[in-house]
Amino acid sequence: MAALADAQLTYEEWRATRGVLPPGYRHVELHVLLGTGVQAFELAGNALMAWQMHRRAGLAVTASSAVVADDAVVVLGLGWGPIGVAAPCRVVYVVDQPRRRGFAYGTLPGHPERGEEAFTVGLDSAGQVWGWIKAFSRPASWLAGASGPIGRWIQTAITARYVRALRDIAQPEPR
């Protein structure tokens, strides 16, 4: 973590997930219904801001802060041992509004991709809780580039896990 504290982002278009995604990258833009009601919003928002979406999606999370904060560094891990991948990122902005919460992080050196990913949950005027995932990325290493369709499949699968995790958090099973 200490070595990543001063590391520079590996892309130039930082905070671009706030607007139009830059050309030359693979884009992801999802808008999904997570649940309904203030409780669902609070559950999803609190879990998102405590890295729980990532953990429930099956990623190992090592973060410089227990809750998401500007400039926090997080290393996400997927896989085991020699076939594991570490993905270091830095939080580039935080959204903290009464009806909208989330953040975006950008890639740091050592991440197999370069780009940015934003995660937001919001409560609309009808009481529906929505989740947004917006990202742009491209390979940062020869291995990521060589993975081609497999690498894209892994990204798509992880994004689906994020959505499932947020839905499960927003709509807990009755006990």
Q: What is the mean pLDDT of the chain?
A: 92
Over 90: is that where the pLDDT of 92 sits?
yes
CA–CA distance, 92 with 165 (Å, rounded to integer): 23
pLDDT at 151 over 90: no
In this prediction, residue 105 has a pLDDT band, given cuts at 50, 70 and 90, of very high
Does 137 map to a domain?
Answer: yes
Looking up tokens 């669902």 gives 40
Q: What is the CATH number of the domain that holds 87?
A: 3.30.530.20
pLDDT tens sequence across 34-90? 999 999 999 999 999 999 999 999 999 999 999 999 999 999 998 766 677 889 999
Instruction: Provide the domain count of the chain.
Output: 1
Please report whether residue 57 resides in a domain. yes
pLDDT given for residue 110 in this prediction: 92
Cβ-proximal residues to 1 (8 Å cutoff; 6+ apart), any chain: 62, 64, 73, 75
Question: What is the average pLDDT across 157-164?
Answer: 92
- Whether residue 61 is contained in a domain is answered as yes
pLDDT score at 3: 84
DSSP string for residues in 54-100: HHHTT-EEEESSSS--TT-EEEEEES-GGG-EEEEEEEEEEEEETTE
Q: Which domain holds residue 122?
A: 25-170
The answer as to whether 15 is a domain residue is no
Query: According to the model, what pLDDT value does residue 81 have?
Result: 66
Q: Classify residue 10: in a domain, yes or no.
A: no
Cα 15 to Cα 71, 91, 122, 161, distances in angstroms: 12, 10, 19, 24
52 is a domain residue: yes
The answer to whether residue 141 scores a pLDDT higher than 90 is no
Is 17 part of a structural domain of the chain? no
